Amino acid sequence: MKNILITGGNSGIGFATAALAKTRGYEVTISGRSPERVDQAAEQLGVIGFVADMSSMEDIQSLATLFLEKGLDALVNNAAIAKFMPITTHTESDYDDFLNTNIRGPLALIQALVPALAKNKGCVTNVSSAVTNNGLPNASLYAATKGAMDAFTRSLALELAPQGIRINVVSPGAVDTPILAKLGLPAEQIEAIRAQQEEMIPLQRYGKPEEIADVILAQLESSYVTGSAWSVDGGVNAT
Torsion of CA 21, 38, 110, 138, to 10 degrees: 100
Residues facing 184 on adjacent strands: none
Could you tell me what percent of the chain has a pLDDT over 70?
95
3-178+208-238 folds as Rossmann fold (3.40.50)
Q: Where are the domains of the chain?
A: 3-178+208-238
Question: Biggest alpha carbon distance in the chain?
Answer: 52
Q: What is the mean pLDDT of the chain?
A: 93
Higher-pLDDT residue of 170, 174: 170
pLDDT digits (tens, 9 = 90+) for 92-109: 999 999 999 999 999 999
Whether the predicted pLDDT of 191 surpasses 70: yes
pLDDT digits (tens, 9 = 90+) for 45-84: 999 999 999 999 999 999 999 999 999 999 999 999 988 8
Contact 213/20 with Cβ under 8 angstroms?
Answer: yes
Mean pLDDT of 6-24: 97
Active site residues: 142
Angstrom CA distances, 109 to 15, 98, 192, stand at 19, 16, 38
pLDDT of residue 18: 98
Band of residue 137 on the pLDDT scale cut at 50, 70, 90: confident
Mean pLDDT of 27-35: 97
Q: List Cβ neighbours of 179 (8 Å cut-off, separation of 6 or more).
A: 12, 82
How do strand 3-7 and strand 74-77 relate by DSSP bridges? parallel
Higher-pLDDT residue of 148, 193: 148
Q: Which amino acid is at 41?
A: A
